[in-house]
């Protein structure tokens, strides 16, 4: 994934459609001017965040968040700032900062075998002068390798090395579960090779998109100049890069199409891949630990046919320019300040952030990416107790019980489909906090002298670890997020829900918080992830994770009628200004939001029950809904709004709250909303 792609992690995290997550806004930093009151975090909702002038029945998001939105600036180094994700991430990062400083100084504890590696990795990242020196040496070596490419055989050999080293060129290759046999891991070749976050950035013809492409072309040229090319040569090569990436974008499948797993499953063998893209010398790519790979899912055959046309039509000189661009772009942070500054200058057009994050935060993120399960161990010890894990698990089980009750009452689902759905529900595997067994990094050679070498070593280790999975049985104990991550996910191929310790923090979740607030905030997230198992993508996988149609035709038609209502509802909303929400792209997340709110409320009622009286003037159920809404209080920059409207599979925060709760009659009852008001419409969408 390129640095530009990493600027929109919430988009790219679900691009492959295999798993779905609640997906936090981009990581944020708490501005010093906005202190976080501990009592508000302990309470689970903040009465001072409420806009008492707003009507909860007209715009509940404004009512719940309005005062907070008005008083909370976005830090200059961030594209958005949220009351939950951002505050939690800031707290987590501060704790990790303390841990990393101690590790870098050599202060490690027994039982933390990779602590020295983590400390050395972080120390090498923090030394900017050494980073620049080592980066220049590495770049010189890369340039020599690229210039030595004199045939397509050489190109394939170099592409393999670049993939193993973390460069995003031409396509992606790695392991995945076989959609039709969830017990085994197979190889998967998929579309890739773009410098902008998605294909539509290259293809849309509106003035804003054209202006962004012009800026991108100029940015590519400036990066190539930093790599040593003359301005004239860089300008020519930037055009070549733009041409190649546009061709790849034209051959790529859209995000909406990728949401259907049947569209990205085409099981071929090596010969089949040769037939789709014969111009690429696959024998030069499938060497070493990939020599014996035979079964391959070619996710998007049309993409590889398009790649083949690129290799037929485009000269080696232009292909070398494309490789050079990705060499300087994809590891820009490890090449020194000049590359970092230029990369950030362009990223501002996508995110609106005004200044770079402090270096220690960028190095903390890099350490988490490279050695995440080693860094997570001291974090978990300090930030996530056994009591917290047990409480979270109890809540997850309550959510699952709520879904079981829901299945019994659904009138549109017939008995055979209902029984299969119950089987799938009872087979879900819950992961809370951190893995049962920590990953070791003994084979990763880390020292303090070269940050880029450390990055490449960690990347090569991960590539080899991933390649080793192909042809093996699926490891159901593995995690796809590090435990410090402020996020959560459901994976339909494993039929599992995962809630890292990083997100199980206040104000999402706290042992001291009232049940109403916990169920409203993290309970909604738990219900959201569970509902992903039965959204329009998740429902296509059975209890074992196989892509199999376990629905009767009658129940499937009823389900599709209900989801069509959700598409229409969200398509009527606007992401910002006059830009509509893509109701088809956001369908899965919208279904999950609707289900998450309903399941969390039902679980709260059955496990806790409503109590008489009120707190801060609000009843238990009102505080449930306030806790839910305030978890999504978010200020975003217009540049980010524009970027996400194009490719984000989630509706904006305001609509995630208002859209879901307006479909819930219990919300209208809790706030005595009259029928016909915005939060109590006459026609509602329901799925689960």
CATH number of domain containing 232: 1.10.1380.10
Pair 499, 585 in one domain: yes
The per-residue pLDDT for range 323-375, each reduced to its tens digit, is 999 999 999 999 999 999 999 999 999 999 999 999 999 999 999 999 999 99
Instruction: Give the pLDDT confidence score for residue 21 in this predicted structure.
Output: 66
Instruction: Give the pLDDT confidence score for residue 610 in this predicted structure.
Output: 61
More confident residue, 112 or 314: 314
In a domain, 169, yes or no: yes
HSE, side-chain direction, 13 A CA sphere, residue 244 = 33
Q: Is 560 a catalytic residue?
A: no
Question: In which band, very low, low, confident or very high, does the pLDDT at 35 lie, cut at 50, 70 and 90?
Answer: very low
Range name among 92-106, 164-178, 189-203, 600-614 with the lowest pLDDT average = 600-614
Pair 210, 343 in one domain: yes
In a domain, 319, yes or no: yes
Q: At residue 682, does pLDDT exceed 70?
A: yes
Find the mean pLDDT for residues 669-686: 97
Instruction: Give the pLDDT confidence score for residue 616 in this predicted structure.
Output: 81
Distance CA 346, CA 102 (A): 34
In a domain, 33, yes or no: no
Pair 401, 541 in one domain: yes
Distance CA 622, CA 360 (A): 40
Q: Is 529 a catalytic residue?
A: yes
Find the mean pLDDT for residues 606-611: 78
Q: At residue 33, does pLDDT exceed 60?
A: no
Instruction: Give the pLDDT confidence score for residue 30 in this predicted structure.
Output: 31
In a domain, 83, yes or no: no
| DSSP for residue 269 | -
Last residue of a domain, one of 361, 395, 415: 361
Cis amide linkage into residue 507, ω under 30° from 0: yes
In a domain, 428, yes or no: yes
Instruction: Give the pLDDT confidence score for residue 406 in this predicted structure.
Output: 96
- Report percent pLDDT > 90 for the chain: 90
Range name among 24-33, 295-304, 464-473 with the lowest pLDDT average = 24-33
Instruction: Give the pLDDT confidence score for residue 8 in this predicted structure.
Output: 40
Instruction: Give the pLDDT confidence score for residue 563 in this predicted structure.
Output: 98
Range name among 5-9, 106-110, 166-170 with the lowest pLDDT average = 5-9
In a domain, 483, yes or no: yes
Instruction: Give the pLDDT confidence score for residue 2 in this predicted structure.
Output: 34
In a domain, 568, yes or no: yes
The per-residue pLDDT for range 298-326, each reduced to its tens digit, is 999 999 999 999 999 999 999 999 999 99
Pair 350, 250 in one domain: yes
Choose, from 529, 536, 620, 648, the residue flagged as catalytic.
529
Pair 679, 623 in one domain: yes
How many separate domains does the chain show? 2
Mean residue pLDDT across the chain: 93
Helix (H) / strand (E) containing 636:
strand 634-636
The per-residue pLDDT for range 473-485, each reduced to its tens digit, is 999 999 999 999 9
pTM of the model: 0.93
Pair 311, 394 in one domain: no
Helices 587-607 and 553-571 cross at an angle (nearest 10°) of 100
Select from 513, 495, 489, 490 the least CA-distant residue to 628.
513
Question: In which band, very low, low, confident or very high, does the pLDDT at 27 lie, cut at 50, 70 and 90?
Answer: very low
Choose, from 593, 620, 648, 663, the residue flagged as catalytic.
593
In a domain, 91, yes or no: no
296 bridge partner residues: 187, 268
Distance CA 484, CA 378 (A): 10
Instruction: Give the pLDDT confidence score for residue 164 in this predicted structure.
Output: 98
Question: In which band, very low, low, confident or very high, does the pLDDT at 24 lie, cut at 50, 70 and 90?
Answer: very low
Last residue of a domain, one of 345, 361, 377: 361
Lookup: tokens for 525: 């997230």
Lookup: tokens for 521: 């905030």
Pair 195, 63 in one domain: no
Sheet holding 181-191, edge to edge: 171-178, 181-191, 296-298, 267-268
Pair 323, 404 in one domain: no
Instruction: Give the pLDDT confidence score for residue 110 in this predicted structure.
Output: 78
Pair 351, 219 in one domain: yes
Question: In which band, very low, low, confident or very high, does the pLDDT at 109 lie, cut at 50, 70 and 90?
Answer: confident
Pair 396, 331 in one domain: no
Question: In which band, very low, low, confident or very high, does the pLDDT at 17 lie, cut at 50, 70 and 90?
Answer: very low
Distance CA 266, CA 483 (A): 33
Alpha helices in 259-300 (DSSP H): 270-276, 282-285
Q: What CATH number does residue 644 fall under?
A: 3.40.390.10
Instruction: Give the pLDDT confidence score for residue 614 in this predicted structure.
Output: 75
Range of the domain at 429: 49-78+387-435+479-688
Pair 297, 398 in one domain: no
Last residue of a domain, one of 361, 376, 401: 361
Instruction: Give the pLDDT confidence score for residue 81 in this predicted structure.
Output: 98
Pair 179, 320 in one domain: yes
């Amino acid at each position: 994934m390129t640095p530009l792609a990493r600027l929109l992690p919430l988009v790219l995290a679900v691009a492959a459609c295999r798993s779905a997550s609640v997906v936090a806004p981009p990581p944020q930093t708490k501005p010093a001017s906005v202190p976080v009151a501990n009592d508000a975090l302990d309470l689970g909702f903040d009465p001072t965040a409420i806009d008492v002038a707003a009507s909860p029945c007209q715009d509940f998001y404004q009512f719940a968040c309005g005062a907070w939105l008005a008083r909370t600036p976005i830090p200059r180094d961030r594209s958005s700032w949220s009351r939950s994700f951002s505050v939690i991430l800031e707290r987590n990062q501060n704790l990790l900062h303390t841990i990393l400083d101690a590790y870098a100084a050599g202060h490690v504890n027994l039982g933390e075998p990779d602590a020295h590696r983590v400390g050395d990795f972080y120390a090498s990242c923090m030394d900017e002068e050494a980073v620049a020196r080592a980066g220049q040496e590495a770049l010189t070596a890369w340039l020599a390798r690229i210039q030595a490419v004199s045939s397509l055989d050489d190109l394939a050999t170099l592409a393999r090395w670049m993939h193993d080293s973390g460069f995003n060129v031409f396509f992606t290759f790695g392991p995945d579960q076989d959609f039709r046999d969830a017990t085994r891991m197979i190889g998967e070749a998929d579309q890739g090779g773009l410098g902008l976050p998605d294909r539509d950035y290259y293809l849309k013809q509106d003035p804003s998109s054209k202006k962004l492409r012009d800026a991108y072309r100029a940015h590519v040229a400036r990066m190539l100049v930093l790599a040593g090319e003359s301005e004239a040569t860089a300008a020519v090569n930037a055009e070549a890069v733009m041409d190649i990436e546009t061709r790849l974008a034209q051959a790529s499948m859209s995000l909406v199409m990728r949401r259907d797993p049947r569209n990205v499953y085409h099981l071929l063998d090596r010969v089949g891949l040769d037939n789709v893209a014969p111009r690429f010398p696959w024998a030069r790519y499938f060497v070493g630990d990939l020599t014996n790979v035979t079964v391959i899912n070619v996710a998007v055959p049309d993409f590889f046919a398009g790649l083949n046309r690129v290799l037929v039509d485009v000269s080696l000189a232009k292909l070398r320019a494309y490789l050079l661009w990705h060499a300087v772009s994809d590891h820009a942070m490890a090449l020194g300040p000049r590359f970092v500054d230029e990369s950030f200058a362009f990223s501002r057009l996508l995110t609106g952030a005004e200044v770079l994050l402090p270096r220690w935060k960028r190095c903390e993120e890099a350490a988490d990416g490279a050695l995440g399960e080693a860094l997570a161990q001291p974090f978990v010890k300090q930030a996530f107790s056994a009591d917290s894990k047990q409480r979270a698990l109890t809540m997850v089980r309550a959510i699952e019980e709520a879904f079981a009750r829901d299945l019994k009452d659904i009138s549109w689902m017939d008995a055979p489909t209902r029984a299969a759905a119950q089987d799938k529900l009872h087979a879900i595997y819950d992961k809370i906090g951190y893995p049962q067994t920590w990953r070791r990094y003994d084979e990763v050679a880390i020292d303090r002298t070269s940050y880029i070498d450390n990055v490449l070593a960690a990347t090569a280790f991960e590539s080899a670890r991933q390649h080793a999975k192909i042809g093996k049985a699926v490891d159901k104990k593995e995690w796809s997020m590090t435990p410090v991550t402020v996020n959560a996910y459901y994976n339909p191929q494993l039929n599992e829900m995962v809630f890292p310790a990083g997100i199980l923090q206040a104000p999402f979740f706290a042992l001291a918080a009232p049940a109403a607030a916990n169920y409203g905030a993290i309970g909604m997230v738990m219900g959201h992830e569970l509902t992903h198992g039965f959204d329009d993508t998740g429902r296509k996988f059975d209890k074992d994770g196989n892509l199999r149609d376990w629905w009767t035709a009658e129940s499937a038609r009823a389900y599709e009628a209900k989801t069509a209502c959700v598409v229409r509802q969200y398509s009527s909303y606007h992401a910002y200004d006059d830009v509509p929400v893509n109701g088809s792209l956001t369908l899965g997340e919208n279904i999950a939001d609707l289900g998450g709110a309903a399941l969390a409320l039902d679980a709260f009622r059955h496990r806790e029950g409503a109590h008489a009286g009120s707190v801060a003037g609000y009843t238990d159920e009102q505080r449930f809904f306030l806790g839910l809404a305030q978890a999504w209080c978010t200020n975003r920059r217009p540049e980010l709004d524009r970027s996400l409207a194009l490719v984000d599979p989630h509706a904006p925060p305001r609509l995630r709250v208002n859209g879901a709760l307006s479909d819930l009659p219990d919300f209208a009852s809790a706030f005595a909303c009259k029928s016909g008001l915005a939060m109590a419409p006459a026609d509602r969408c329901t799925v689960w």
